Structure 1
Amino acid sequence: MPSDGEAPMDGAVARAVPALALDRLQERLLEAFYGGRSANTVKAYQRDHEDFRSFLARQDGLEGWSDSAERAARLLLTLPPGAANALALGYRNDLIRRGLRPATVNRRLAALRSVVALGKTLGLTACSLEVGNVEAAAYRDTRGPGRDGVRAVMAKASARADAKGARDVAIVRLLHDVALRRGEVVSLDLEHYDGATGALFILGKGRRDREAISLPAVTRRAVEAWIAARGDRPGPLFHRLDQAGSGEGRLTGEAVRLLVRALGEGVGLTLRPHGFRHAAITTALDRSNGNVRAVQRFSRHRDVRTLQTYDDNRADLGGQMAVLVVDED
């Protein structure tokens, strides 16, 4: 049953709509939607669409549309515009009631809007989802662990004189020194490092082609120390290690998260991989005197407004203005 506060859905409306005559492509709406996207992006969309399917399974009269994420998405194309938007509004209310963060709520709504937009492009519906996002909080934790925290973690990882120590130092260096995301780190193969030039070819977030970035000397030494321990066999640049120190498959993003958390706990900090990226960006803004455009190139953020939020948090511009406004006794 729909919960209190949700727009009610008439299950009879959905059952009364005739089946659409679809060709082979249109029968695979989500497959067409996922096409050409990176594996990580597809997984994120699949989780969001699966969550919507689960929501439908809990709604009286709509259980028949929850057999698959494909069928759940197709319901939005089948309903009249008002009913489709009422259903999306009910889903938004459900996400909020479940205590999900605004960013998660908004991402899941965007996942639905994008599928409906594709359906409209393919002529499957004339509907657009107009249900808006919820207000998101300011970007969190943009300062990261700070310079002292980064140094402490580097020292902790370097204390091990074995293959794991070399691997972990190289990973932390890449997360911090060139502000890589953990997905960018784990997607690297050995062939993506050019030892002659010190260039690393990364697959950035939302990108389809790899781009070259130049590693600082200290970062390059860390990567090459790990490669010396790893060996020159083709395959993932970073892999899991068994007790003998040999490789057991590509390191996952979750493994990097746990690795960073363990290093942080070893120096009394609560850390996540993205915190090193935050620390790097904040330091770059500090040392470039707030050169947002240059730091945008370094961080590879598409929207410069994200860097402006970092800059405000870094310098506490709002706090500085408050001091000017307040009259002290």
Structure 2
Amino acid sequence: MSGGKSQEIVTYMSGQLRSIAGELRHGSDFLTELQQKAGTTQRGYAGNIKLFFEYFLNRAPIQDDVEEFWGLDEESANTLILKFKNYLVASGRKSATVNRYLAAIKFLIKAGRNLKRCSYRFDSDRIESLRVTKYRDTSGVRVDEYNKVFDVIDVRTDKGKRDYALFLLFWSNVLRRSEIAKLKVSDFNYQESVLRVYGKGKGNDDVRVDLNRTVADAIYSWLRCRDSVKPTDPLFIAMDFHNFGRQLSGDGLYAIVRMTCARAGISKRMSPHRIRHSGITEALDLAKGDYRKVQHLSRHADPRVILAYEDNKNQYQLELSNKLAARVGRKRGRKR
């Protein structure tokens, strides 16, 4: 994680820090408050910070340990952090994991400075984040393999109508499971064949997604199965005994995809994201390599991401590796 990105995260968190500062002044535990009151990212940092202390103390930290760390001089504090970073690297932690721990410690120092209990700063020049090599597994399945799921979905049942709509939507609009999990009935406009989709993260920004008429008909057929549907109701609900009527969560969508694809005899372990990868790869063929069109479909902010799909589809790396390998390795004949 770059220094700029880390600073951006710390700035975002500062509002959360102010909200818990009052109680901390009355002696409450920083890590406990962090786990209970902060956002998801900060709550995750609490576990990273605990491991940082446990490495040196061989026990779970208490508030006094946090206070003692805040009270160190800059040289001592950053020496401890560097030693912890070296331990993480030596133990085989991935670069992204090491960077997350460092970001958590930066957050801890920022918290202490906000509370006027810490006078030093995280030395980013001395303790550099590790470079992360991004890798995207864009492997998926071909359309003929994916079509097997529709052989095992019984559209005569309510559950079948729901699953039929879901699997059409996953493939044709390459939606993320988090996007589908957020959908309400009011987000679907059958007359215009439009879906209002909310993107990744915590923001409220939405985007208009046009639907193929067959997909819109499938969603409409699913909604007609349900009694007294209100605009604020979830578009897709769970239908198992214990959760019937509740909004399908991301985990619920994952389970539906995994079990249905396994039942259909698809050998590759499937997930909503693998369907998304499959659809994007297929779209590249249909768009004859037009990255701009595929970017609009997938809603990737960075068009370079599409290159990973193109390389995976055409196996450019393997093609060139085979050609290079063919030119070496044979013994050269003796000169006469």
The normalised TM-score by structure 1 is 0.72
- Asked whether the equivalents of residues 54 and 61 of structure 2 are also in contact (C-alpha less than 8 Å), the reply is no
C-alpha distance 102-173 of structure 1, shift in aligned 2 (>3 A): farther
**Cα shift at 1:101:** 5.6
**Cα shift at 1:99:** 6.5
Aligned to 2:245: 248
- Gap runs ≥5 in structure 2: 1-16, 24-37, 331-336
Q: 1:257-286 CA deviation, whole Å, 9 max, x = no partner?
A: 111110121124311111011011111122
- C-alpha separation between the residues in 2 aligned to 1:103 and 1:166? 41
Aligned to 1:260: 257
Q: 1:133 aligns with which of 127, 130, 134?
A: 130
- C-alpha separation between the residues in 2 aligned to 1:78 and 1:300? 47
Aligned to 1:163: 158
C-alpha distance 302-64 of structure 1, shift in aligned 2 (>3 A): same
C-alpha distance 243-327 of structure 1, shift in aligned 2 (>3 A): closer
Correspondence 1:27 to 2:21: yes
Q: 2:222 aligns with which of 220, 223, 226?
A: 226
SS of match in other structure, 1:249: coil
Matches within 5 A, 1:43-58: 43=40, 45-46=41-42, 48-56=44-52, 58=54
- Asked whether the equivalents of residues 182 and 253 of structure 1 are also in contact (C-alpha less than 8 Å), the reply is yes
Aligned to 1:195: 190
**Cα shift at 1:51:** 2.6
Q: 1:154-198 CA deviation, whole Å, 9 max, x = no partner?
A: 332x33521111111222222221111111111111111112211
- Asked whether the equivalents of residues 176 and 277 of structure 1 are also in contact (C-alpha less than 8 Å), the reply is yes
C-alpha distance 316-224 of structure 1, shift in aligned 2 (>3 A): same
C-alpha distance 184-85 of structure 1, shift in aligned 2 (>3 A): farther
Q: 1:35-61 CA deviation, whole Å, 9 max, x = no partner?
A: xxxxxx943x14531331341352334
- Asked whether the equivalents of residues 48 and 108 of structure 1 are also in contact (C-alpha less than 8 Å), the reply is no
C-alpha distance 202-118 of structure 1, shift in aligned 2 (>3 A): farther
C-alpha distance 293-116 of structure 1, shift in aligned 2 (>3 A): farther
- Asked whether the equivalents of residues 139 and 278 of structure 2 are also in contact (C-alpha less than 8 Å), the reply is yes
Aligned to 1:4: none
Aligned to 1:293: 292
Provide the alpha-carbon RMSD of the alignment: 3.8
**Cα shift at 1:85:** 4.8
Percent of residue pairs identical: 26
- Asked whether the equivalents of residues 173 and 297 of structure 2 are also in contact (C-alpha less than 8 Å), the reply is yes
